[in-house]
Amino acid sequence: MAEVFRLINTIQDYAWGSRTAIPELLGESSPADKPQAELWMGAHPKAPSTVLLEEGGQLPLPELVAQDPAGTLGATVAQRFSSRLPFLFKVLAAALPLSIQVHPNLEQAREGFRRENELGIPLDAFQRNYRDANHKPEVISALTPFWALNGFRPIPEMLDLLHSIGFPSISEHLDAFRKNPDSAGLKIFFAALMRLDRKTRGRAIEEAVHWARGQLNQEQRSGTPETSTTPIARWLVRLQELYPGDIGVLSPLLLNLMLLQPGDTMFLEAGLLHAYLEGMGIELMANSDNVIRGGLTPKHKDLEELLSILRFEGKAVRLAEALETVPGERVFQTPAEEFRLAEIRVQPDTPYTSPKTGSIELMICLDGEGAIDAVDPLPLSKGDSLMIPASTSPYTIHGQLRLFKAFVPLD
């Protein structure tokens, strides 16, 4: 197998999605009738990509892989990952916040999947947490300004924020946290917060939003520049408008609030509480759909499971570094064994020549016009997606293009 194949991919129409971002990327009518949240590229059983064959037929990507695992995935990848594509590649477009959530590590995923299977919970049941036995490390690279929450803030910073609001409704829990400003104290405080009765929870949210509106009004009246707490105040108000009374409204006080600019890329490890709030990005993850939710959603929430897999460590977020491996290609350095994400920029006077990765590659074009030369030249333009088998000879891309590529690291 030594060809380059076009892909047809499934769009997930989750309620938080954008009606314009993905249709405009694909050159389709915009706004769409329904929110379009994610474009999936890969072999996940829920929505596998379809490969357009050279002779005119079509074949689901998992079936093409099964016909020649070593030629498609690469011999090392096929052996290491039981002849399965180990990653899921996405375009994500969030017009509204996603749920506050966490992903399990590999051991937790296997145990949770086994446990829920033994309980006879159907895979598509509302209350199902584990839909497969895999973990879900992931990386997101911003295509537009992209708001996200990622992991607990450093504890001193978190306590300063909470103190500035006061929170008379939860003063007992906050005092206990101040006396034990460490991971154990954070876990006790967070669990108490999540277990508040409806009345106390409502008062705590009201206190936070009152503080936030006061901050914003004061800045507006005085005309002073924004401070570091301005985005936090804005998101507190916004989340209360979208999810009134949900404990997740308080999450910007507890978690690192990030504004990624286009090109900024961050890695999310297992056990870190996080949420994507707004924006468009390229997402790459291990081939899993395991999500345990804690708030900002009408979907199933499981507090006890959430507490059992969360990592209660407060630290700042470091963006992923990018290494230029060949001219025109930046590979984002992340620790996942299943995937690497690369950004490719092709200029008219500087074609891109691929390095030999030994891995299957999935690719999507974000901008521009050009062609990929492998066996035969194949035109490329905005919205096109490709599957390049591991057995394909090194290829060249000409034109003026911006692309993202997913592959499996072998070193």
Are residue 268 and residue 132 in the same domain, yes or no? yes
Measure the CA–CA gap between 168 and 153, rounded to whole angstroms. 22
Instruction: Cite the beta strand spans of 95-177 per DSSP E.
Output: 100-102, 138-142, 146-152
Are residue 378 and residue 397 in the same domain, yes or no? yes
Segments in 223-313 forming alpha helices (H): 230-242, 251-254, 303-309
Among the residue ranges 45-59, 149-163, 189-203, 377-391, the one predicted with the least confidence is 45-59
203 labelled catalytic? no
Segment 87-120, tens digit of pLDDT? 999 999 999 999 999 999 999 999 999 999 999 9
Are residue 24 and residue 136 in the same domain, yes or no? yes
Q: In which residue are the tokens 């001193």 written? A: 156
- Average pLDDT over the chain reads 94
Question: Beta 352-353 vs 361-373: how paired, if at all?
Answer: unpaired
Q: How confident is the model at residue 29 (pLDDT cuts 50, 70, 90)?
A: very high
Q: In which residue are the tokens 């708030």 written? A: 295
Residue 145: CB atoms within 10 A of its CB come to 13
Q: How confident is the model at residue 2 (pLDDT cuts 50, 70, 90)?
A: low
Give the mean pLDDT of 370-386.
91
For residue 303, being part of any structural domain is answered with no
Integer CA distances (angstroms), 397 to 135, 250, 284, 352, 381, in order: 34, 47, 22, 5, 12
Measure the CA–CA gap between 385 and 383, rounded to whole angstroms. 6
For residue 302, being part of any structural domain is answered with no
Which pair of tokens denotes residue 404?
């993202």
Q: How confident is the model at residue 411 (pLDDT cuts 50, 70, 90)?
A: confident
Sort residue 368 into left (φ over 0), alpha (ψ -120 to 50) or beta: left
Q: What is the CATH number of the domain that holds 15?
A: 2.60.120.10
For residue 316, being part of any structural domain is answered with no
Phi, psi of 323 (to 5 degrees): -115, 125
**Better-scored residue on pLDDT, 151 or 287:** 151
Are residue 56 and residue 169 in the same domain, yes or no? no
DSSP string, 136-150: --EEEEESS-EEEEE
Are residue 80 and residue 109 in the same domain, yes or no? yes
Residue 140: CB atoms within 10 A of its CB come to 27
407: amino acid identity, one letter: F
- Domain endpoint, select from 254, 280, 306: 254
Segments in 166-197 forming alpha helices (H): 171-179, 183-194
For residue 313, being part of any structural domain is answered with no
Quote the percentage of the chain above a pLDDT of 90.
86
- Domain endpoint, select from 196, 229, 254: 254
Are residue 176 and residue 241 in the same domain, yes or no? yes
- pLDDT for residue 209 is more than 90: yes
For residue 374, being part of any structural domain is answered with yes
Q: Is the pTM higher than 0.85? A: yes
Give the mean pLDDT of 284-298.
91
Q: In which residue are the tokens 């707004």 written? A: 278
Integer CA distances (angstroms), 395 to 42, 374, 382, 392, in order: 21, 5, 19, 8
For residue 39, being part of any structural domain is answered with yes
Burial class (CB in 10 A: 0-12, 13-18, 19+), 172: exposed
State the pLDDT at residue 83.
96
Are residue 63 and residue 197 in the same domain, yes or no? no
State the pLDDT at residue 226.
81
Phi, psi of 355 (to 5 degrees): -75, 160
Measure the CA–CA gap between 155 and 183, rounded to whole angstroms. 8
State the pLDDT at residue 224.
75
Q: What is the CATH number of the domain that holds 203?
A: 1.10.441.10
- pLDDT for residue 1 is more than 80: no
Cα angle value 95/135/255 (rounded, 5°): 50
Are residue 246 and residue 287 in the same domain, yes or no? no
Residue 176: CB atoms within 10 A of its CB come to 13
8 Å CB contact between 300 and 124:
no
8 Å CB contact between 273 and 100:
yes
**Better-scored residue on pLDDT, 238 or 53:** 238
Q: In which residue are the tokens 């992340």 written? A: 334
Domain interval for residue 199: 154-254
8 Å CB contact between 81 and 278:
no
Are residue 351 and residue 293 in the same domain, yes or no? no
Handedness of CA 381, 280, 395, 85 (dihedral sign): negative
Are residue 331 and residue 286 in the same domain, yes or no? no
Question: Beta 138-142 vs 274-286: how paired, if at all?
Answer: antiparallel
- Domain endpoint, select from 254, 277, 306: 254
Are residue 217 and residue 83 in the same domain, yes or no? no
Among the residue ranges 46-60, 274-288, 304-318, the one predicted with the least confidence is 46-60
Number of domains comprising the chain: 3
Are residue 132 and residue 168 in the same domain, yes or no? no
For residue 244, being part of any structural domain is answered with yes
Give the mean pLDDT of 169-197.
97
- pLDDT for residue 230 is more than 90: yes
Q: How confident is the model at residue 131 (pLDDT cuts 50, 70, 90)?
A: confident
Q: Which of 201, 238, 293, 340 is catalytic?
A: 293
Segments in 328-381 forming alpha helices (H): none
For residue 308, being part of any structural domain is answered with no
Quote the percentage of the chain above a pLDDT of 70.
100
218: amino acid identity, one letter: Q
